């Protein structure tokens, strides 16, 4: 077994891992990124890239932006449609005046491959793909990572290896929180009709799945990403088969079924679990940090995780530089990473969790959609709340509910 010594080892070459590696590329540190799969790899996802993701691309080395622009199979999306339980529709444009919050839809396979290819351009980063980590050990002098043919060592390790993180399991003894998980199932369809000409993404809220939703995202090449997401606890308690539920909506629901009259499923439905950021967790310790899905920082309401994954990778890189500057890799010093992650993300995660709980009430969704369609000011308020935490906070206050909904 050959031995490879590095300053930093990153487990996982998804958005969080790639972000951390690239933001460390000019630090003078020797970095290894290890991933069990080879690129391009399949990642089950809703395929939505929010404006937050697009904004963060500007922060990374220039090659990321130029590479993203070259992805041919991405589709510009300029708005969103909300469908309420009583079958009304609210359309919100992302391009209101100068407050554009437009994003894209793009297959995660293509997006992640772009990030990996960018990582490969940096001489200070050594990428090991198709390399499954079997064990991880931490000691006084560093961390040891065992694969089938190699032993990797480093001063500190980043667990960017998803919700089933081996880093979390081995170094933090963190148990999965089954009560903070969403389960999603999605399929790719061709020839779905009725999308807005601005390629609006769609969220359908119906009684059977609240506070979850069905999504229809238009994709390049006349394709659509179609799926449903629900809280794992609700699925278990109500004994729901997600695949059957989604197929039933596609074949019978008046808002959805007519649009699938000539549509065909490409491939098969795929399911995955999503770790939601519903509470603060310990995401660092002696010689390790957790990032991305391993840190459980997915938005509890929308299920969007790419933006926070990229952000956590950037924060991890900044903290690692501080670790080497102070020659400190201990648990107490690394607690500053947790503090910074939650300083940047917790307000938004908490608000989204509040909204998720409110969306268990169909009457509230019905009234909101109807009121917004009648009142342009209220519609603008909802649109602004999608990108402004202060406005979103106002909307979930009890007084605001009384003032807005009960008068």
* Count of structural domains within the chain: 3
Specify whether 119 is located in the same domain as 205.
no
Tens digit of each residue's pLDDT, the chain (407 residues): 456 899 999 999 999 999 999 999 999 999 999 999 998 888 888 899 999 999 999 999 999 999 999 999 999 999 999 999 999 999 998 875 444 557 999 999 999 999 999 999 999 999 999 999 999 999 888 999 999 889 999 999 999 999 999 999 999 877 667 778 999 999 999 999 999 999 999 999 999 999 999 999 999 999 999 999 999 999 999 999 999 999 999 999 999 999 999 999 999 999 999 999 999 999 999 999 999 999 999 999 999 999 999 999 999 999 999 999 999 999 999 999 999 999 999 999 999 999 899 999 999 999 999 999 998 888 887 777 776 656 555 555 544 444 554 44
CA atoms within 13 Å, Cβ hemisphere of 295: 38
Apex 188 CA angle, 186 and 190, nearest 5: 150
Specify whether 215 is located in the same domain as 322.
no
Specify whether 214 is located in the same domain as 130.
no
CA distance to 11, 183, 258, per residue, from 148 (Å): 15, 32, 52
Specify whether 212 is located in the same domain as 324.
no
Specify whether 161 is located in the same domain as 184.
no
Specify whether 302 is located in the same domain as 227.
no
Specify whether 18 is located in the same domain as 135.
yes
Give the model's pLDDT for residue 112. 97
Instruction: Please list the residues that pair with 276 across neighbouring strands.
Output: 298
Residue 89 lies in a domain: no
Which of residues 254, 275, 296 is at a domain's end?
A: 275
Nearest to 36 by CA among 6, 64, 14: 14
Specify whether 250 is located in the same domain as 158.
no
Specify whether 250 is located in the same domain as 343.
no
CA distance 151 to 255: 55
CA distance to 75, 353, 368, 373, per residue, from 84 (Å): 25, 19, 9, 12
Residue 395 lies in a domain: yes
Which of residues 229, 258, 275 is at a domain's end?
A: 275
Give the model's pLDDT for residue 397. 56
């Amino acid at each position: 077994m050959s031995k490879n010594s590095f300053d930093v080892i990153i487990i996982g070459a998804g958005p969080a891992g790639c972000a951390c590696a690239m933001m460390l590329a000019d630090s003078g540190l020797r970095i290894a990124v290890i991933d069990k799969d080879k690129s391009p790899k399949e990642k089950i996802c809703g395929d939505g890239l929010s404006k937050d993701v697009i904004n963060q691309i500007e922060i990374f080395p220039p090659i990321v932006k130029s590479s993203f622009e070259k992805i041919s199979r991405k589709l510009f999306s300029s708005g969103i449609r909300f469908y309420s339980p009583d079958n009304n529709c609210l359309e919100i444009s992302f391009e209101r005046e100068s407050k554009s919050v437009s994003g894209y839809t793009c297959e995660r396979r293509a997006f992640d491959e772009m990030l990996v290819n960018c990582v490969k351009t940096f001489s200070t980063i050594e990428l090991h793909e198709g390399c499954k980590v079997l064990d991880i050990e931490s000691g006084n002098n560093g961390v040891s990572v065992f694969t089938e043919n190699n032993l990797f060592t480093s001063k500190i390790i980043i667990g960017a290896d998803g919700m089933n993180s081996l880093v979390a399991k081995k170094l933090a003894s963190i148990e999965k929180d089954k009560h903070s998980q969403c389960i999603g199932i999605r399929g790719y369809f061709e020839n779905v009709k009725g999308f807005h000409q601005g390629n609006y993404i769609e969220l359908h809220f119906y009684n059977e799945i609240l506070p979850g939703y069905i999504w229809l995202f238009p994709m390049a090449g006349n394709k659509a990403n179609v799926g449903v997401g629900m809280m794992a606890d609700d699925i278990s308690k109500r004994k729901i088969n997600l695949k059957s539920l989604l197929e039933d909506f596609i074949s019978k629901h008046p808002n959805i079924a007519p649009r699938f009259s000539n549509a065909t499923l490409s491939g098969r439905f795929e399911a995955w679990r999503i770790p939601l950021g519903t509470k603060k967790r310990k995401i660092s310790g002696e010689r390790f940090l957790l990032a991305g899905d391993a840190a459980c920082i997915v938005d509890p309401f929308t299920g969007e995780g790419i933006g926070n994954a990229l952000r956590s990778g950037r924060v991890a890189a900044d903290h690692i530089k501080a670790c080497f500057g102070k020659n400190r890799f201990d648990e107490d010093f690394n607690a500053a990473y947790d503090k910074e992650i939650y300083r940047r993300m917790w307000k938004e995660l908490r608000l989204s969790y509040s909204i998720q709980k409110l969306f268990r009430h169909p009457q509230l969704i019905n009234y909101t959609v109807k009121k917004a369609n009648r009142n342009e000011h209220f519609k603008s308020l909802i649109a602004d709340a999608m990108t402004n935490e202060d406005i979103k906070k106002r909307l979930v206050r009890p007084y605001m509910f009384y003032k807005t909904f009960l008068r």
